[in-house]
Structure 1
């Protein structure tokens, strides 16, 4: 489902209370070994990894589609050079005064639709949900939270950019992280997923050429640390779709609620 994915570098589940603090940016790297290009850094290469599984539930923006249930692969790996979570892979470029830069690759596996998914889509060409997105990403970590951004391109599916802010608060075994963000979607992206080509048009579905738009989101994630290595994760929020999407005759919703829950075992 091609709406906002919470979050950005990003809005993602944390693997433990300690990891959540690092991800949210409450701890700013200090010391000479933590600044500069990664390839030139003398920092010790420490590896962390974990495995888990989860499920996401979200309403589809398409008329008559209902709620979509998606499995979530929670694979985690982090060392000096790479950060991997789920379907996102970051190659670490470097860090300067709390600002980290990475080259990101992200696999989308559940966007798009089949014409059999909803009556409004009957007669439409299927939109392929699989895509590989790539581009730069950065995160600015301060004591006030983390501001993250990414700009990704995906071949014939256009471009997308995200801006996300989050701040973690720890309460014993619990970690609460409110987050807010904006997504920019190019006209090519919107046209691919929400456009109606002239030969697809009907009396109930006029032709529509997508235009670039902004989506906004607000939510919070909760991490409960069962043991030193085990965490239960919950993320809930809502996205507000921009007019480039809601003007489409395929779309019947402006607000998209979403809930994700998962379990992760962190080995190291």
Structure 2
């Protein structure tokens, strides 16, 4: 006996609509980001970073710790906030928008930058893609300076892999590369004619790529507390390293902090 065409069509649509709900969520929560995600945490930490672009001197900042996800759509993790817009059924492939904070610097803090203009704090905004595989998580992002500090753009590729998966201790390793366009590099590494001196010639930086490698960890101290820590080393690209304000092309970023889950 033939089924009514309208009923068959409605049945097919109902089945298709139910498939995503039946799919298994296969998110690897530890490698959702470079910092192992355990649960929603809020706290404070201390970060150590180069005083200025390419400086071999370090500065210390007190930073808030926020590692949180809201409704599995909105998230804040360290210096990044974003929203997921499109997912695969198992959520291992996700597309969305994100915003990343970028620290500037005060010229008086560096030996080679005294007398220059300060470089402003900025926020890079753009589309982001996360693809989780059985080997690790691949992140890709295109960003542009939404604050008009440099009016530059960059493209980031990052691979995150879990190194330690303990109940108390979790550690992720990462490698990555970031391409900055000419405007971005020139704002942070260039020297304008007005900033030039006999010991600091004018310099216009071109586009280029910098490389990164690091580790990030989370250690649960019991109860609702966790210690977060990490170290990332950036190797500046040639267009950056050739700047007269650069003292070393190896740039560290280290942090440690404590967060509570409420």
TM range (shorter): 0.7 to 0.9
Structure 1 gap segments, 5+ residues each: 1-17, 27-47
CA separation of 1:22/1:238 partners in 2, compared to 1, >3 Å: closer, same or farther? closer
Check if 1:211 corresponds to 2:206: yes
Higher relative contact order (CA 8 A, sep 6+): 1
Segments ≥4 residues shifted beyond 3 Å: 21-24, 59-65
Return 233-242 or 59-68, whichever deviates more: 59-68
Number of residue pairs the alignment of both structures matches? 225
Check if 1:144 corresponds to 2:135: yes
Q: Following superposition of structure 1 onto structure 2, how do residues 1-268 of structure 1 map, counting pairs within 5 Å?
A: 19-23=29-33, 49-60=40-51, 62=53, 66-78=57-69, 79-96=71-88, 98-108=92-102, 110-111=103-104, 113-128=105-120, 130-154=121-145, 155-157=148-150, 158-168=152-162, 169-267=164-262
Deviations 1:138-195 (A, max 9, x none): 1101221101111110034101221111111313411121111111111101111111
Conserved? CA contact 1:65–1:117, under 8 Å? no
CA separation of 1:205/1:65 partners in 2, compared to 1, >3 Å: closer, same or farther? same
Aligned counterparts of 2:159 and 2:210: Cα–Cα separation in 1:
15
Aligned counterparts of 1:64 and 1:132: Cα–Cα separation in 2:
22
Conserved? CA contact 1:61–1:254, under 8 Å? no
Aligned counterparts of 1:63 and 1:21: Cα–Cα separation in 2:
30
Aligned counterparts of 1:22 and 1:159: Cα–Cα separation in 2:
24
Q: Give the SS at the match of 1:121.
A: coil
Aligned counterparts of 2:225 and 2:51: Cα–Cα separation in 1:
31
Deviations 1:87-123 (A, max 9, x none): 4221210212521111112333x32x22321232222
TM-score using structure 2 length: 0.78
> Looking at CA atoms only, which structure, 1 or 2, has the larger radius of gyration?
2
Structure 2 gap segments, 5+ residues each: 1-27
TM-score using structure 1 length: 0.77
Deviations 1:30-88 (A, max 9, x none): xxxxxxxxxxxxxxxxxx74311111112346576611112221123312331122442
Deviations 1:214-263 (A, max 9, x none): 11111112221112522111111311110111110011101112211111
CA separation of 1:217/1:232 partners in 2, compared to 1, >3 Å: closer, same or farther? same
- 1:21 deviation in Å? 4.9
Q: Give the SS at the match of 1:253.
A: coil
CA separation of 1:22/1:114 partners in 2, compared to 1, >3 Å: closer, same or farther? closer
